[in-house]
A and B are shown apart, each in its own frame.
Chain A
């Protein structure tokens, strides 16, 4: 028997804005040129990538500057399996890629998840760069800085060829929705709440009896898994594995995406990914040379003046809009 307050109490999360966004994403292919559609798919893929980091950073509070290690591992795994070994089955390759990323998280997480803020950050930075240097130097296996090209679009066994950009976009979109729902289920569960507790006050959680190391470790692994899924999709999207996808640059980009989108919120990954990739596209059309400069200035501006990220502003704006239209606050 529910108390009256509980009956009146609406869901903490109103799904309406998410449904709007979802609809926009669904009808996008009708309006976009093939290149913009490729960008849209890239945004969705990086949103999945950022979801993983959002879990580790936004919800658990571990500042990781090495998230691209998992992403890049999956990208190269896909590249090896399809180019070197010619394995055609998408599901086998995708599973191996994701498991590769998860394995990396399992391995490294074991040694580093207990570390405090600054040390954890530096180590993850180092891990990402370590993998980068391995990939860069081992030309025979990875092609070094030439990259490893030749990844074909996946064969899903459906009558819809993935070489068609629109079909591939919808495929990525489906995986994105799936990842989002999984993440939501994780966040809105005792596990997710425990993570937030660890972020806010770890000693207190320990006193309450939580094995905080274990929670941090599991969230690190799951975050790595999301990164792996994103990496698999990205390899198929661009068809080439490149060291830049596994190193510091990629880790910093996804970190910035999470920060832009307000870490610790559900909307964060998509907002951050769309903002950053759109910004990169706009700047590249004018001046590709100065992109790092503009990016650096963006970093400085966001860290100084938009500390919570831009996502919070969008959420507040949405709420304001709803109040103006007479819709009760949720």
Chain B
């Protein structure tokens, strides 16, 4: 029974990482019509900066802040300097963002070297909790809990605040919000910043689970892509539903039939494509 609990917890904590990443991807696409394939790269930045700060200061919270800040700054820089000039041009955006992903990954290799870096969870959480007869890793619980908090905060933000209303309106009809006087470019930078900051945080949180390694950029990007296809681009609920599904499937498949892990996910993707092409919660078109 221990085994099942562990699998579920590992799956759910991976879901949290995926949710943090794919909500940013989805939001950026929904609002700005930009397919940001660099997003995995921000996870990578977060994890490498985070691991360095953590090893240097021993303070996990500081590592999270640092990872988030660096990812956010680089993200805004990329948006203002480059993406801003390619509105709506899918092909160019894809090439640009892939280019940045390559650059980030290779720079990380240059600075930190090719060997993956692991980090132990902060000592406060590096224990096992014993519930009855079962023993679970506290850190997994913390991650899941943190993920729930973030999901609730994001929901609140989107539904109850003015900025959230602007975002929802922008996802629905870009031209209209420009017409009523919203400074679209400024909001775009903020949205992009928000997305990349969350990705950076995700990178640091994922350190005790996955470590900091060079392939993390493209690997986690691929999972995030599956999540947004299933959940629908532009939708928070979609990202939540999708990451939940993928996290669980991933964990179970790895436990029972490792080679079939990808198969299961793509099967789900094909089913979604046949039944509801824009994803479970996706906006039309």
Taking Cβ atoms with an 8 Å cutoff, the residues of A that contact B are 57, 63, 65, 111-112, 114-119, 121-123, 125-127, 129-130, 133-134, 137-138, 248, 252, 255-256, 259, 263, 289-290, 292-293, 295-300, 302-304, 307
Contacts and interface: CB of A to CB of B under 8 A. Distances in A.
A290 B259 CA distance: 32
Given A119-B233, A290-B106, A296-B101, A248 B218 contact: yes
B103 interface: yes
Determine chain A's interface SS by DSSP, over half rule.
Answer: helix
B229 interface: yes
Nearest to B259: A137
Contacts of A118: 29, 35, 90, 233
Interface stretch (B47-55, B91-99, B122-130, B182-190): B91-99
A119 B270 CA distance: 12
A130 B107 CA distance: 27
Given A121-B90, A248-B218, A296 B266 contact: no
Nearest to B81: A304
Interface residues of B, number: 43
B17 interface: no
A280 to B, nearest CB: 13
Determine chain B's interface SS by DSSP, over half rule.
Answer: helix
A129 B262 CA distance: 9
Contacts of A295: 99, 102
A94 B221 CA distance: 35
A12 to B, nearest CB: 25
Interface of B: 29, 35, 82, 85-86, 89-96, 98-103, 105-107, 109-110, 218, 222, 225-226, 228-229, 233, 258-259, 262-263, 266, 269-270, 273-274, 277-278, 285
A220 B225 CA distance: 22
Looking at A256, A289, A296, which has the most chain B CB atoms within 10 Å of its CB?
A296
Contacts of A126: 222, 225-226, 229, 266, 269
Contacts of A117: 90
B273 A252 contact: no
A7 B27 CA distance: 57
**Nearest 4 interchain pairs by C-beta:** A299-B99, A296-B102, A296-B103, A293-B106
Contact of B96 (A63, A255, A299): A299
Looking at B85, B110, B277, which has the most chain A CB atoms within 10 Å of its CB?
B277
Contact of A121 (B86, B94, B102, B110): B94
Given A112-B273, A118-B35, A123-B229, A303 B96 contact: yes
